[in-house]
């Protein structure tokens, strides 16, 4: 397991989204585990996502769970299917729609680092 890669994950203070993939069956997954949730294979590898994906679902939050998030309402929560084959829940531009091509980066929202997705600009 690469400690350097893991520490670059946004949940550990980094500025990347780190995912794992199984060396036995190829399964790709997001939540960090010491084994593959599909086949039980040991020592899955870590990789850094390029941040490109597609909006799978989208909702606008009007009633926030805390004072910190209440200050930024309304805000969008999105489920994004990343190009590498896993899905994340994140914040996103409120104008996003299902099917939009997006790119994510780590931004500070409500005083904490969180993944945030914006629409990929159309290329003419």
Q: By CB under 5 A, name the one of 6, 11, 21, 27 that touches Zn ion.
A: 27
Q: Provide the sign of the torsion angle of the four alpha carbons 66, 79, 58, 50, taken in this order.
A: positive
When the beta carbons of 35 and 69 are compared against Zn ion, the nearer one is: 35
Q: Is 60 left (phi over 0), alpha (psi -120 to 50) or beta?
A: beta
Residues 57 to 116 in contact with Zn ion, rule: CB under 5 A? none
Instruction: State the number of binding residues for Zn ion (CB under 5 A).
Output: 8
When the beta carbons of 45 and 70 are compared against Zn ion, the nearer one is: 45
Site string for Zn ion, 30-49 (x = CB under 5 A): ------x-xx-x--------
- Residue 61 CA to residue 44 CA, distance in Å, equals 35
80 contacts 92 by C-beta, under 8 angstroms:
yes
Q: By CB under 5 A, name the one of 9, 16, 20, 22 that touches Zn ion.
A: 22
102 contacts 92 by C-beta, under 8 angstroms:
yes
- Residue 89 CA to residue 3 CA, distance in Å, equals 24
Q: By CB under 5 A, name the one of 24, 32, 46, 54 that touches Zn ion.
A: 24
Q: What are the residues binding Zn ion (CB under 5 A)? A: 22, 24-25, 27, 36, 38-39, 41
């Amino acid at each position: 397991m690469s400690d350097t890669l893991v520490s670059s994950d946004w949940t550990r203070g980094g500025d990347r989204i780190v995912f794992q993939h199984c060396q036995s069956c190829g399964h790709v997954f997001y939540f960090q585990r010491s084994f593959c949730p599909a086949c039980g294979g040991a020592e899955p590898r870590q990789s850094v996502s390029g941040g490109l994906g597609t909006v799978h679902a989208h909702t606008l939050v009007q009633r926030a769970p805390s004072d910190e998030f209440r200050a930024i309402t309304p805000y969008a929560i999105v489920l994004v299917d990343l190009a590498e084959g896993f899905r994340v829940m994140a914040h996103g531009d409120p104008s996003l729609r299902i099917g939009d091509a997006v790119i994510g980066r780590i931004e500070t929202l409500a005083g904490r680092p969180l993944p945030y997705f914006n629409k990929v600009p159309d290329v003419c």
